């Protein structure tokens, strides 16, 4: 329903006076504030009230802030791990999960190898001494949330965890690299220790976790929220997967949300999942109906309603494991890694050799890197196991910065450009400009360029990459397997429709998210449901550039089914394109992105 002038003035006042949207609007308090304002400010306020459309600008600025978001973050979660535990399958739950398309192909296979180590760690012989001071004692001492809440959603989660002790074992194995660091950062900020268990709910402690909603890393930041909190995402690396940077950003986010909701950590956690705006709106609805505004009384998205109970159930397990028949493995209250300043870009295979560790251990501790080396712009640091840190520092000190990555001497030929050269040598034009002191992208025939390159062959980085990739893509599924080469103008929707499969399936089979860009020339594996998939893949009848991306504003009475019918698209695809939950109602005025065939559109 469209807001009237009073409602619009209320909204403008909230923006001007920086009032939270759950605070009651009191005209008397407004006049008190106005008495402190200058004539110029008063003029502006009344002008804004007369021209209520001006609030749309303020609205846009507010929506850019993730604290005001009304969008549920679709996290990778722990469903894959749960299914693996329940089915009793081999420990490959993490290996078969999607990976960020930004990761170079050779590093994707390396990441899968590293993921194997999450679920299949090298078994150390048991130590003779008893661990007197373990990490679990520190974790328990920092618990703050009410674990005694009597709620069916908590009981359901608790019963599942208690009946699947193998899940807890696997989570502890995965989290053993990161938990000490995360818990100590939580403790330094004076935040509840339960926050340190949040990566279990978000990613099952998989540092490479990547959801179909494009959330990445232990803390499952989507791209826009990551950027808001200073997490850089570029060709070389993605700090949403950086253990140190993402932990700092996540705790900052949670801290701000807790402040927003007056120290109520259950509301802060709910807002981390569904957005501060979603929680505030639910509180406002309850307040208007004279109902309580605590987390347990709010009508929130289904995923969010189960999000906090999951965390509380986990905390109860870790608080008193014996009560639930669970034995936690010993975990020392000691750091697993050290942060070593490198001072310059560094080849990752070379770093593994210098530290005396397998490269998969380097990847598990430094999962943000998309390429064969650390980023040339920094931060120049590497996480290394504690017991190998001094060895690494000593070896690093013996190698000049110029020798820490390999260099090729390239002579520019006719037809070359910085773009084409950077593509051929797996780097970027900006890196070539930087290392060659170029002021522009202009180069001349015969000019010599220094190009950074991997010091080892691909096998040193990927650990049998082709075999790993083939194993994933050769896994038997329903349908006929075809290989499809992406062409200009292709979209996931085009390809999925022609092969009678869903957008999400095509993306998942190829380690991608539905929102990822499709580059011409990329080869996809598709398990087609058509009668002649090979012919279809080679000779598509689809006219080039007949599909258009259009924006659609939801009208009163609209539903996903009605919009899908009108534009001849699939309901599931609309939900996928817009990260929507099928169970949630559309709101009039809501903006949607559609990919429609203009030959079939109204």
Nearest to 250 by CA among 233, 230, 235, 232: 230
Neighbour count for residue 118 (Cβ, 10 Å): 25
- Percent of the chain that is helix, strand, coil (3-state, to 5): 50, 10, 40
Neighbour count for residue 134 (Cβ, 10 Å): 16
- Tokens found for residue 529: 């449901």
Instruction: Please spell the DSSP secondary structure of 550-578, one letter per residue.
Output: EEEE--TT--HHHHHHHHT--HHHHHHHT
Instruction: Round to the nearest angstrom and report the end-to-end CA distance of the chain.
Output: 26
**Residue of 97, 106, 194, 202 marked catalytic:** 202
- Tokens found for residue 244: 């140190």
Q: Produce one character per residue of 33-56: b if its CB has 16 or more CB atoms within 10 Å, e if not.
A: eeeeeeeeeeeebeebbeebebbe
The Cα 167–Cα 174 span in angstroms is 11
The Cα 389–Cα 65 span in angstroms is 39
User: Which residues touch 317 (CB under 8 Å, ≥6 apart)?
Assistant: 158, 161, 162, 168, 324, 326
Residue 167 burial by Cβ neighbours in a 10 Å radius (0-12, 13-18, 19+): buried
Helix 302-319 to helix 152-163 angle, to the nearest 10 degrees? Answer: 60
Mapped onto helix, strand or coil, the DSSP state of residue 347 is strand
- Tokens found for residue 474: 């050769």
The Cα 95–Cα 112 span in angstroms is 5
Give the residue carrying structure tokens 């520019």: 412
Q: Say whether 202 is catalytic.
A: yes
Nearest to 497 by CA among 570, 563, 567: 570
Q: Is the peptide bond before 134 cis (omega within 30 degrees of 0)?
A: no
The Cα 367–Cα 238 span in angstroms is 9
Catalytic residue numbers, as ranges: 202
């Amino acid at each position: 329903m469209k807001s009237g002038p009073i409602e619009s003035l209320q909204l403008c006042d909230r923006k001007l006076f920086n009032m939270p949207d759950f605070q009651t609007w009191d005209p008397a308090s407004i006049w008190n504030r106005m008495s402190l304002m200058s004539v110029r400010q008063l003029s502006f306020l009344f002008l804004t009230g007369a021209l209520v459309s001006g609030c749309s600008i303020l609205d846009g600025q507010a929506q850019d802030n993730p604290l005001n978001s009304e969008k549920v973050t679709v996290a990778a979660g722990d469903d894959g791990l749960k299914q693996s535990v329940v089915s009793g399958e081999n420990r490959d739950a993490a290996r078969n999960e999607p990976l960020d398309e930004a990761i170079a192909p050779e590093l994707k296979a390396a990441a899968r190898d590293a993921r194997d180590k999450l679920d299949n760690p090298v078994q150390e012989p048991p130590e003779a001494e008893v661990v007197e001071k373990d990490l679990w004692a520190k974790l328990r001492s920092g618990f703050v949330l009410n674990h005694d809440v009597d709620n069916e959603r908590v009981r359901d989660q608790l019963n599942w965890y208690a009946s699947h002790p193998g899940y807890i074992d696997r989570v502890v194995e995965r989290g053993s690299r990161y938990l000490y660091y995360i818990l100590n950062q939580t403790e330094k900020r004076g935040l509840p220790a339960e926050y340190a268990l949040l990566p279990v709910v978000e990613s099952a402690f998989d540092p490479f976790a990547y959801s179909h909603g494009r959330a990445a890393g232990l803390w499952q930041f989507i791209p826009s929220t990551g950027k808001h909190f200073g997490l850089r995402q570029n060709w070389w690396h993605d700090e949403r997967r950086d253990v140190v940077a993402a932990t700092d950003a996540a705790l900052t986010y949670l801290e701000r949300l807790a402040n927003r909701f007056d120290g109520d950590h259950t509301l802060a956690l709910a807002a981390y999942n569904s957005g501060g705006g979603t929680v505030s709106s639910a509180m406002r609805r309850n307040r208007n109906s004279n109902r309580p505004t605590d987390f347990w009384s709010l009508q929130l998205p289904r995923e969010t309603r189960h999000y906090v109970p999951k965390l509380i159930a986990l905390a109860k397990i870790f608080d008193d494991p014996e009560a639930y028949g669970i034995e936690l493995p010993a975990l020392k209250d000691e750091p697993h890694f050290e942060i070593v300043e490198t001072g310059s870009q560094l080849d990752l295979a070379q770093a593994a050799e210098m530290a005396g560790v397998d490269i998969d251990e380097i990847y598990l501790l430094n999962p943000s890197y998309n390429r064969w080396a650390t980023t040339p712009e920094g931060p120049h640091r590497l996480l290394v196991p504690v017991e190998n840190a001094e060895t690494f520092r000593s070896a690093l000190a013996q190698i000049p910065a110029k020798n820490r990555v390999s260099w090729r001497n390239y002579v520019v030929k006719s037809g070359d450009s910085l773009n084409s050269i950077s593509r051929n040598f797996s780097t970027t034009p900006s890196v070539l400009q930087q290392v060659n002191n170029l002021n522009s992208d202009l180069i001349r025939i015969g000019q010599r360029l220094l190009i950074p390159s991997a010091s080892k062959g691909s096998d040193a980085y990927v650990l049998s990459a082709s075999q790993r990739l083939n194993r994933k893509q050769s896994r038997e599924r329903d349908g006929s397997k075809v290989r499809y080469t992406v062409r200009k103008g292709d979209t996931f929707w085009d390809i999925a429709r022609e092969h009678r499969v869903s957008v999400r399936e095509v993306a998942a089979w190829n380690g991608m998210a539905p929102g990822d860009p499709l580059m011409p020339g990329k080869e996809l594996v598709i398990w087609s449901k058509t009668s002649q998939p090979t012919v279809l893949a080679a000779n598509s009848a689809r006219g080039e550039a007949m599909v258009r991306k259009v924006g659609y504003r939801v009208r009163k009475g609209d539903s996903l089914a009605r919009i899908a019918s009108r534009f001849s698209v699939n309901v599931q695809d609309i939900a996928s394109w817009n990260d929507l939950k099928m169970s949630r109602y559309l709101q009039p005025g809501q903006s949607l992105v559609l990919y429609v065939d203009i030959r079939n559109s109204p």
